[in-house]
Amino acid sequence: MVEKYGPWAVIAGGSEGVGASFAHQLAEAGINLVLIARKPAPLAETAAAVRARGVEVLTVQVDLLDPDALSTIREVTDGLEIGLLIFNAGANSYGHEFVTGDLSRVRGVIDLNITAQLALTHHFGALMAARGRGGIMLVGSLAGYLGQEEISVYSAVKAFSRVFAEGLWLEMRERGVDVLELVLGVTRTPAMERAGLAFDLPGLNVAEPDDVAREGLAHLADGPVWVAGGNLAAAEKRSGFPRAELALAAHEATRKLLPTR
């Protein structure tokens, strides 16, 4: 793995949950890490734990919504040979109906999941293409397969990410750079726990961060899209027709999963 995706990997959203699992597993493979996150305490804690595995770990505490975020990241990464970018920052779903919601919050969802993702992918992808090797993993969501109330924009940006990954995969495959959209379903992460999701619903397929991170790394070369955690059938169903029937069925299921407002 080091020969293809090393010696350094950048993980945006690398302080907890799936991002932290990626960090530990890459460190186990001998890849040095640059961890990017907004919250200083989880970032420092994960960096220390991963550093104890014997690799170099650098941290960048930055809000990716900051217009100067890429410049801040480059202050740390310029001069490093980055062989892998994992963009795992995108849990800002914002649960509110669109027309009565706060448009600035909506723009934040778009800027985090699209604008910031494009900026990092453009910068590090160009370096990998010039070098002729590397990998780009964009962590997506089943939400991107079907519109849902109160997270309509979040669902839309996750759909964008998947389609973008498919086009980027076509562009980069002859340049020695693997591109993968890793689609997650319900995953037991700190962010989802803070949101109050009902993980104990009968029949609910709940994945663990270590498992989906391991699956993503194992299939990094199998792009452009990999649906993790046993959710392939759900993704296929959400891609079908008629759309109204599917949207209403997903709506009823989601109402059981989310906390009552």
- pLDDT band at 253; cut points 50, 70, 90: confident
Contacts of 29 (CB under 8 A, 6+ apart): 1, 2
pTM of the model: 0.94
CB atoms near residue 10 (< 10 Å): 24
Alpha-carbon span 227 to 215, nearest angstrom? 9
Q: Is the dihedral of CA 188, 194, 200, 205 positive or negative?
A: negative
pLDDT band at 251 (very low <50, low <70, confident <90, very high): confident
Question: The domain containing residue 183 runs over which residues?
Answer: 2-257
Residue 7 scores a pLDDT above 90: yes
Domain count, the chain: 1
**Residue that is written with structure tokens 């009823």 in the block:** 252
Using the predicted structure, report yes or no on whether residue 196 has a pLDDT greater than 70: no
DSSP letter string, 25-94: HHHHTT-EEEEEES-HHHHHHHHHHHHTTTS-EEEEE--TTSTTHHHHHHHHHTTS-EEEEEE-------
Say if CB 182 and CB 224 are below 8 A apart: no
Residue 1, pLDDT > 70, answer yes
For residue range 117-155, list pLDDT tens digits in order: 999 999 999 999 999 999 999 999 999 999 999 999 999
CATH of the domain at 30: 3.40.50.720
Instruction: Give the C-alpha separation, 83 to 163, whole Å.
Output: 23
Q: What is the arithmetic mean of pLDDT over 208-215?
A: 97
Instruction: DSSP letter for 15, please.
Output: S
Sign of the CA dihedral 159, 163, 164, 169?
positive
